[in-house]
A and B are shown apart, each in its own frame.
Chain A
Amino acid sequence: MTRSRLHAVCAAALVVTLATPISAQAPTRFGLGRAATPDEIARLDIDIMPDGTGLPAGRGTSADGAATYAAKCARCHGPTGKEGPNDVLVGRLPAEGFPFSQDPTLPHTIGNYWPHATTVFDYIRRAMPPTAPGSLTDEEVYGLTAFLLHANAVIPAGAVMDRNTLPAVVMPARRYFTPDTRKQSAGKPRP
């Protein structure tokens, strides 16, 4: 081992020690906690991935969702999803492009800003309505998701949303999102 490699290894060891502040004698396992049963996991595991992993059984169309929306959502998001007073959910951009950086008045909606259709289902089921979070049935959430996607002209009237069709919906804003490319290196401001 060369001297500089030795230095590199020591430096690496130091970094590991600092980042993981456990003594060298620590065991890899402490035997704490207890095994989670498949049932216990299923009860809590409500997240849905862009490929549809996690979506439950059930289905819904825009027509199914319209009545639920009017009864449980319109009060805060407006009769058509555009009027508020809370977050504007419906609205498309007139033309090509993604002019959010230039226009502070442009509302970010499901139709013009959300990159994944599965997020609509996931978010509504976990958090809406705020007055009774987690109270909607999966069928209701499929209907509401279809209603909002249709209101945003992302899916046609009558389209059935279920665990197979929802992940296949391509959202208009999808291609505009980019990962963080800031580097840790020195240099000019990279805001």
Chain B
Amino acid sequence: MKVTRRELIAGAAGAMALSQTARSEAQAPTDPSKVRGKPPRANGERAATAKVQRLVRGGTSSGTPHQDLMGTITPSDLHFERHHGGVPEIDPASYSLLIHGMVDRPTIFTLSDLKRFPSHSQIYFLECSGNLGRTAGPETTPGQLAGLTSTSEWTGVPLATLLREVGVHKNAKWLLAEGTDAAVLTRSVPIEKALDDALVAYGQNGEALRPEQGYPVRLFLPGWEGNASVKWLRRIDISDRPFMTREETSKYTEPFADGTSRMFSFRMDARSLITHPAFPTRLERGWVEISGIAWTGAGRIRRVEVSTDGGKTWASARLQEPVLPLAHTRFRHLWEFTGTETIIMSRAVDETGYVQPTRAELLKLRGPGTTGYHLNPITGWVVQADGRVIYKEEPWA
């Protein structure tokens, strides 16, 4: 094999860069107070020894690694992604949003037009309706099981403001939101949601949206299945009927045991997930803070109950205040691990009194062949006598 001079130089430079990184990781000074630290830099980075990554699943999604996170906010680069035509590259200078249909004034808004409207920021979770890893074996992490939910602070213009601006007709009942990705993804959305809390969002955690989250502009429907919050939003068509797009008929519908299929099931129901201890953690004996996230599309989490004896008894976990509506809520529960094998699990109750169901309860209504959409079962982790923690699907006994 012949190696050119240029390849040789590139290779040597690469090796040098690598060895420098390796050195800076390995050679943290034994006493950092005796060495002058690094100068300021324009963009911060994670500590080299605290790298975290999304879990990429196939070519169309990646999930948030909940086992590596704490608190309630998902770092923007770890927010889950799901797309049907790849992540498009969009020039913000030529971006525009068309609103037309049952309106007095069909209008085209540029990105700077949208940013001139009064804005609103709020912390919300976003969850894909198909957020249950189905091939889960014992070695399944929280991120593999439910990585398609994340929480960010979203900023944008309330869709209600834009609809007033274009003079939406009184008899309008639905709108079609369309993306400018290669799937030109479309969903029908009831007008009540548009006039309630829907945002045309351009900000995420204090900066522009990430490309995977719809840069430069996306629809955001708080508490509703992620697919309907159309990213890379290019058009809104107002109508008095739903459009019956592929994503709301062939997909994102749930067969029920009574031989029907449910459509337009937007709201995400309450769910909780213990993120620690969970696979791949290995516990030491002693006090353990069981910790996790809970969320509901119906508003606030009222209570999270934790069982450390396989569901025989339940105790109320502490909820991290403030408990925000339509956002991940952190729960914590102290427990002493004595080295006896057991199963730990959590169940969320939301402000409507809805109780997170068991898998058996879900499947009774939905049937064993149902699609993976809107499945929010109680999750159990087996803590083995040696401290190994593995995932176990119901039945737990």
Contact = CB atoms under 8 A, between A and B. Distances in A.
Contacts of A34: 107-108
Interface in A112-154: 113-116, 118-119, 122-123, 126-127, 130, 133-134
A41 B106 contact: yes
Given A19-B160, A133-B182, A185-B352, A33 B100 contact: no
A49 B370 CA distance: 27
Given A123-B245, A134-B184, A189-B361, A177 B366 contact: no
A35 B262 CA distance: 38
Contacts of A127: 84-85, 182-184, 246
Contacts of B142: none
Interface stretch (A6-14, A67-75, A77-85, A100-108): A100-108
A94 interface: no
Interface string A16-46: 0001111100101110111110001100111
A41 B237 CA distance: 10
Nearest to A187: B353
Contacts of B120: 21
B234 interface: yes
Given A104-B369, A177-B263, A179-B263, A32 B117 contact: yes
Given A20-B161, A101-B367, A44 B98 contact: yes
A114 B165 contact: no
Interface residues of A, number: 65
A125 to B, nearest CB: 9
Interface in B212-265: 234-235, 237, 239, 241, 243-246, 249-250, 253, 255-265
Interface in B57-82: none
B355 interface: yes
Nearest to A101: B367
A177 B260 contact: yes
Contacts of B261: 98, 100, 113, 173, 176-178
Chain A, interface SS category: loop
Given A23-B118, A99-B259, A184-B352, A36 B250 contact: no
A88 to B, nearest CB: 11
A122 B245 CA distance: 8
A191 B361 contact: yes
A3 interface: no
Contact of A119 (B109, B158, B245): B245
Interface string B257-285: 11111111111010000000000000000
Nearest to A126: B184
B355 A188 contact: yes
A103 B182 CA distance: 32
Interface in A143-191: 173, 176-182, 184-191
A154 B276 CA distance: 52
A23 B380 CA distance: 47
B145 interface: no
Interface string B273-304: 00000000000000000000000001000000
A34 to B, nearest CB: 6
Interface in B336-391: 352-357, 361-362, 365-371, 374-376
A20 B253 CA distance: 30
B127 interface: no
A45 B249 contact: no
Contacts of A97: 259
Of B183, B256, B354, the most chain A CB neighbours within 10 A belong to B354
A22 B106 contact: no
B183 A33 contact: no
Contacts of B260: 98, 176-178
26 contacts: A32-B165, A34-B107, A35-B108, A36-B108, A44-B235, A45-B235, A46-B184, A47-B243, A100-B367, A100-B371, A101-B258, A104-B368, A114-B249, A123-B250, A126-B183, A127-B182, A127-B184, A176-B259, A176-B261, A177-B261, A179-B263, A179-B264, A182-B267, A187-B352, A189-B362, A191-B361
Going nearest first, the 4 A-B pairs with the smallest beta carbon separation are A101-B367, A186-B353, A189-B357, A100-B255
Interface of A: 19-23, 26, 28-30, 32-36, 40-41, 44-51, 97-106, 108, 110, 113-116, 118-119, 122-123, 126-127, 130, 133-134, 173, 176-182, 184-191
